Every structure is written in C-alpha cells, then in structure tokens.
Structure 1
Amino acid sequence: MALSGLDIFKLLPKTNCGECKLPTCLAFAMKLAGGQAKLEECPYVSDEAKEALSEAAAPPVRGVVVGQGAREFKTGEELVLFRHEKRFVNPTGMGVMITTDMSDDEIAAKVEEANKDSWERVGQQLELKLLAVKCTGDPGKFKDLLTRVAGMTELALMPMADNADCLKAAVEVVGDRNPLLYCATPENIDAVGAIAKEAGSPLVLKAEGLDALAELSEKATGMELKDLILDPGTRNLKDTMEALVAMRRAALNQKFKPFGFPIITLPCEETDDSYFEAASAGVYVAKYSDIVVCSEPAAWMQYPLQVEIQNIYTDPQKPMAVDSKFYEIGSPGKDSPVMVTTNFSLTYFIVSGEVEASKVDAWLGIVDSEGQSVLTAWAAGKFVPDVIAKFINTSGIADKVDHRKLIIPGYVAQISGELDEELPDWEIMVGPREAADISTYLRNYVQAG
C-alpha cells in the first residue's frame, strides 16, 4: 500500500468503536497499511475515504476477470517481481487457439480435448482457462465458428480479429459470456474501444514496440476503458521475454500506469515447432505472462505447464495441506492396516500413491500438522505422541477395524515408546523411512497376518 499507517489513520473516523475487532482506529490503520485488514471491516468510513484508500490500496497491476460463471478466471493483481518477497497472486491462464481455416473435425477434436484438460495434483485442480477463436479471413465463417464453439464449451472465450466488424459480430454472439476481445491497435482503437466499452468486455491492446504500447494504453484509459490486457506484439522468444520483464518492472518498480495491466503472450504464433512452443510458453509463465495461448490442448504440452504454474504460484508462506481425517485407500475393511502421517500435501500424495501401488487396501490417517512434513512437524511439536493419540481417539477408526495395530513413519521411530503409553490399547508398529519402501512393507504386513 502506498499510504503509511498514519496517512490512513487521518482518513478514518477515529471513533475507536472496536467493531473492526481492533481496539483503536490507529491499530486498524496499521493493519491496513500492512495488508492484514480490509477497509470493509470499518462500518463508519466515509465514501471519500473509501475512494482515496481504495485507489491507494489497488495493486499496481490491475485485476481483470475473463469469462463468466463456473469457468471465469481472474488475472493480474500482481504485487511483487519475485515470489519470495510475498507471493504471486493469480495463476497464469493457459489458452488454446483454434482458427477459421481449421477443418470441422480438427476444431471439434481440439475443443473436446480442451474441455477434458483437467488434472488433480496435490489436492488442487489444474485446468485450461481459455479458448482463443481467430478469424483468418471470412467474417461470416468467424461468426459461425464462434457460435459453434460457444455451444461446445464453458471455457472463457477470446475472439481474435484485426478489424472492428469481426469483433462487433463476436460480441453479438458471445457478448454475454464476458469474452476477452483481441485486439485493439493504434489503427483501430477508436472503433474497437467503443465496442469493448459498450459490451463491458475486457480488451487486449497490441502495438509494435513498448513505446507505442504505452501510448495505446494511455489512449484506451482515456476512453474510460479499464479492463485491459497488453500484448507487446513481439513474436520471438528473446524479444517477448525482454518485453515481459521490462513491462512488469515498469509497473511494479516505477508504478508506470500504462503498463499496470496483465500481459498476454502467444507462443503459438511464434513458431511451428510444437516442442519449442512449449518451451517458450514455460519461459513466459516464469517471466510474468498472465495469459499464455498455445496451439495444442494435448496433455503432453499442457500438463507440464500447469505443474509449472502450480509450483510458481504456490504461496511460499503457506504450505499446501490436505484435510485431517482417515482416507480410504482402495476398499479397506476390518482387517486392513492403519497408518498415520502428516497433512503436508506432498507427503499425503506420495504416501497414498505408494499405498495404492502396493495393491493393499489401507486406512491412511492424516494428522493436522499445519502443512508440515513428518520430520519438520515432529521437531515443531505438531506430530508428537499426544497429538497423534488425540487424532486416533477422536477419528472413529477404532470402530472401523477389528485389530489395534498402528503404523507410524520410520523417521519418527523414537516416539513409538511414548505413543505406546498414550495409546495403551494399540500396538505401535514402525513403518519404513522412505515412501518407496511402503509397498514392500505392506505386502509383508499382509503375509504376516
């Protein structure tokens, strides 16, 4: 936030009412300045103060919503150049392009595969966000294609054309789905800007060179267009990467408002080599591209990019965690083994994967360790005998099995004695130290009866 705590305090009502759950308005102001409170928590703030504070609190990169309904997504709102400074906010939206010169079968196949591009990884859903529909000639064919595609998918749509008539036709067909209109240029900004403003749709600005793009952005904002996305117009890896870095540095470090918008890149228009396209897309994800449009919805291209996005946009200050409960691996019964581990997502998915691979049905208990791994949680007192015992006693697992054997991770074998005392009715068994050994351990467990 640009304003200090004292600057914010001057705009607050100074009633010290406590309805914001803080004792004084000054304390609330300091929380606001640190990004730890929201202005809406103060019921008495004036409209003038709201306007001033909202403008000061706005992220240097504007947030833009594309699409509508269940498949809409938000892009932008970034605050930092490097994730470790705080976190990255809205994950890169991956898109796929289809064009009017493709055959009907090719279009149907791409849309079908794009709809299926969804993977669950460490408890999160990874999905394609956008379908770009490009007019390569006949405006009538473009309108028909948009109509067809809109009926085949709920993904956000990006109609692409270089003339205002095509984009006007696109708005007539899919305007109610909040499409991302592509694109306004210095030559057509008046006509296309008017279409976007009337439709209330987000708009891509494209110009050759950053100076020209900055001028175009200033003109668009002067037309009261707010939901803008920028295309630097570069169509090779070197120039695109340089433009991405320069634009984001200008927006964040220099507060250069013409570049304070999300950025879109189109590696699908840079090369005919699918592998180089995928590699370029990976670079753009890592270097601030908020939307990346590729030519292929194929999993070999999209899944690695989605994993990269997930890794980059994970909050480094907040470990990924799964719910604390017993999970059924396979179809466990009364005699199935009972295991426990921590709720760090990576731990859970690695362990559960190894249990599944063993072909042994099992009960996998996940203890709330605040998202920490086994050794880290043990050292922090989050995965210790009294915590594990409380989890076992309140989970209801004793009613689901006839035996009383509990398998703990090998890395915390030292707690087995104390856990015996906490759970006197249970036999504490020390499992393997490495997840790779779980399959062998469970098969031996079953054979031993």
Structure 2
Amino acid sequence: MVVIGSGEDALKVGGETVMFRHEKTFVNGPGIGLLVTDAMSDGELQARLKRFKELEFERVGLRLKADIVAVKDVSGDCRTFAGAVEKVKQAGITNLVVMSDRSDVLKAGVQAVADCRPLIYAATDGNLEELGRLALEHNCPLAVKGNGLEEVAAMTARLTEMKIKDIVVDTGARKLNRAFQDHILMRRAALIDRFRPLGFPTIVFPCEMTDDPVQEALIASTFVPKYGGIIILSEVEGHNLFPLALQRMNIYTDPQRPMATTEGIYEINNPDENSPVLITCNFSLTYFIVSGEVESSRVPAWLLIKDTEGLSVLTAWAAGKFVADAIAPFVKKCGIEGKIKHRKLIIPGAAATISGELDEELKDWEIRIGPREAAHITPFLKNLASGKQ
C-alpha cells in the first residue's frame, strides 16, 4: 500500500490481495484526480480548485468526492512550477502529484510541498537514481514511467534495491486496450506468479487517451474495477465524478459484509409523542432512502430500524428476519412505547403479508401498511399529517 499526502485525508492506494472482488474484497478504491498545469491563469486555476473542493455527493451516508490534484509542468520553469504547486496547497488540497519531465523542476515542486508527501511523477530509466534520492530525501512516494511492463519491472526492482518501497507505476500505455491489458497482467503477475517488481499500484491518465470528455469518463470507468490505483481526469464535473465515485463505492464495498445501520430508534424532523412511527430493515441503502424521504416530507416521525443483518425488506422477510415474531419483541423492548401516546405502527408495503401476524403479536397496536415504494413515503406522510390518510 502507498500513502500519498498526510493526515486523515491522505490517499491510500494498492494493498490488494485478490484478483476478483468475490474472492474476498477489494481494499483501497482508486483515487480520482484532477489535472491542472502551471500554464493556467490564476483565475482558471483557482476556479478549478474551488470546483474540485466543493463538488461532493452523499450516498448511503458516505461522502463521494475527488481525492487528488496532479500539477503538470508545462512552462519548464522551476519557479513557475513551484508557485503553481504552492497555490494548490494554499487552496487546502494536500493530496498532490507533481509532474514534470525535468528533474530540476520536479525538485523545486517537491521542495515547495514536501510536508504534504506528494507523489513524484515520474522517474524514467534515465533519471531513476536521481529521483530515487529525491524521494528518499523528502520521504515521498515515487512514480515510475516506462515503455511496457518489462522496463517498469526493471525500474521498480532498482528502486527496491535503493530501499524505496512507496512506488506507483505508469506502464506508459496511452491506448485503452494496451493500458487495460497492462493492468490485468500486472495484477496476475503480482498475485498469481508472486512477481514482486510488478506488485505496486498504478496511475492511469484517461485525460491523455482522448479529447472527448464522455469517452474519457468511460475509459476512467474501465479502471475502477480493473485495478487502477490513481485515475487522472482533465476535468472534474458532476457528470463524470458522481458515476465514477458511485462505481468505486459499489466495487470497493465488502461483498461479504452487507452495509448495515445500527438497530434502534431514529428521530426525524424533531418528533413528539403524537408523531407517526415507521419501521424498516437495517440495510443501509434502505435506511438512507427511507429516512431521506421522511425528512423531505417535513413531517416529524419516529423511524424504527430492526436489525436484519443488513438485508433488504423482502430478503429479510424471506429469511425470517423481518417477520412478526422478530419485529414484535423489538418494538416492545426498543423503548418507543415510552416516547409516544398512540400505538400505531406503519410497516413497509412490501411486507404487508405480515400485518395479520403483527396484529396477533402486538395486540395493543394498530398495524398500518405504508407505501410499497420509498418514493411514495413523502406524500403518504403529508396526507397522514393532514388527516387524509
């Protein structure tokens, strides 16, 4: 595993132990990055950095955002490049890639933000030892760029001999089919053949493979499941960031551990003793969708979350985890009876078949069947509050 940056938001890449997600789990999702250059005007640079920082989404309680900024040397001037790198740091972004073909320019950029542990990009066969010493001096990770896997493997082996462990690989491929093949061959060589010189995370540049932003996003999406370590884009916008970040979240969720919310009573919109009571399962996606719809209704409500081991309503019902003899003891013991005056419980419409059994188990309660779809919860609660339901 390679750590780029410092502090809580440092980017961790690599550390994978399986070829396929279903074998165990993938560990560290690829960092999604934005490319900027030292030739950009101050206004353009600041606008891009502002958008990079502000663009954030929430999904099932998780923050989805871009992770890293790559600063590319175009000017060839040490001072100009160092100034651009410093501006990115001053904007509050500390996960950085400093990029240049010139060792002296790279050195200036690294010295400007050495405390951030930037990724130095990139060592080649000609300057490997020089940049290796720079990485050791500042304790920074180092990227290597070669012309194919053989050259890359030879360079990483030399860096390992220099006691450098934090290495990121660019195989040099700028065609999708070649880059895709390289990533698969690297993972197979590292995990199946135990070939350590290729056992490092990668950096891939969809921004250098096409000028079409839609195609760029599609190329980037290829490397989310297929072993990309860092994915650098020419632009970070809602239309490309959200699907990529959502894809990353889905692929890098442990398939053996369903996402689950803690069992208990959740207060939404400051409920009181007369507020309605709803119940659902503890599958995280269900919880966040249902709670979001309840919140959108602006109707104060109590939401009971029953532990179903992370299963959805229908799956939990089929598995016997969201049935009357499991729900009734929970309702009695969770403490909701001490918070309300009424005894009315709204169950998911998808679990309507258990209403009769719940009537038997909860004799003091009136069991009401709620909407089958979460999208109908908001109008359902509004009608309930106005007395129309």
Q: Give TM-score, length-normalised by structure 1.
A: 0.82
AA aligned opposite 2:156: S
Amino acid at match of 2:128: I
Q: Distance in 2 between matches of 1:373 and 1:79?
A: 29
| Residue number in structure 1 paired with 2:160 | 221
The 8 Å contact of residues 97 and 295 in structure 1, kept in 2 or not, is answered as yes
Q: Provide the rounded CA distance (Å) in 1 between the counterparts of 2:280 and 2:40.
A: 51
1:147 alignment partner in structure 2: 86
Q: What amino acid is aligned across from residue 190 of structure 2 in structure 1?
A: A
Once residues 435 and 198 of structure 1 are traced to their aligned partners in structure 2, the CA distance between those partners, rounded to angstroms, is: 56
- Partners of 1:318 and 1:383 in 2: how far apart? 19
Q: Determine helix, strand or coil for the equivalent of 2:224.
A: helix
Give the alignment partner of residue 131 of structure 1, picking from 60, 64, 69: 69
* Alignment of 1:178 onto 2:117: yes
Contact 2:95 2:118 in 1 (8 A): yes
Which residues in structure 2 correspond to 1:4-153 (within 5 Å)? 63-137=1-75, 138-153=77-92
Q: Which residue of 1 aligns with 2:99?
A: 160
Cα-Cα RMSD: 1.9
Identity of aligned residues (%): 49
Mark the runs of 5 or more structure 1 residues left unpaired by the alignment.
1-62
Correspondence for 1:298 among 195, 217, 237: 237
Using the alignment, how far apart are the partners of 1:385 and 1:339 within structure 2?
Answer: 15
Tell me the residue number matched to 2:268: 329
* Match in the other structure for 1:372: 311
Report the equivalent of 1:18: none
Does 337-346 or 414-423 show the bigger shift?
Answer: 414-423
Measure the CA separation in 1 of the matches of 2:252 and 2:337. Answer: 40
Higher relative contact order (CA 8 A, sep 6+): 2
Residue in 1 that maps onto 2:326: 387
- Distance (whole Å) between structure 1 residues aligned to residue 7 and residue 293 of structure 2: 37
Query: Paired residue for 1:403, among 339, 342, 360?
Result: 342
Q: Measure how far apart 1:359 and its partner are.
A: 4.8
Report how far residue 230 of structure 1 moved. Answer: 0.3
* 1:256/1:295 CA distance change after superposition, 3 Å: same
Q: 1:430 deviation in Å?
A: 1.8
Work out the CA distance in 2 between the residues paired with 1:279 and 1:164: 33
Decide which moves more: 346-355 or 367-376: 346-355
Give the structure 2 partner of residue 232 of structure 1: 171
Following superposition, the deviation at residue 88 of structure 1 comes to 0.8
Which residue number corresponds to residue 211 of structure 1? 150
Shift of 1:186: 0.5
8 Å Cα contact 2:70/2:96 also seen in 1 = yes
Question: Separation in 1 of the partners of 2:56 and 2:291?
Answer: 20
1:101 positional shift: 0.7
Q: SS state of the match for residue 69, structure 1?
A: coil
Q: Is the 8 A contact 1:163 1:188 kept in 2?
A: no
Using the TM superposition, give the Cα deviation of residue 389 of structure 1 relative to its aligned residue in structure 2, in angstroms.
2.8
Partner of 2:285: 346
1:254 maps onto 2:193 in alignment: yes
TM-score (norm 2): 0.94
Q: How many residues align?
A: 387
Report the CA distance between 1:134 and its aligned residue.
1.2
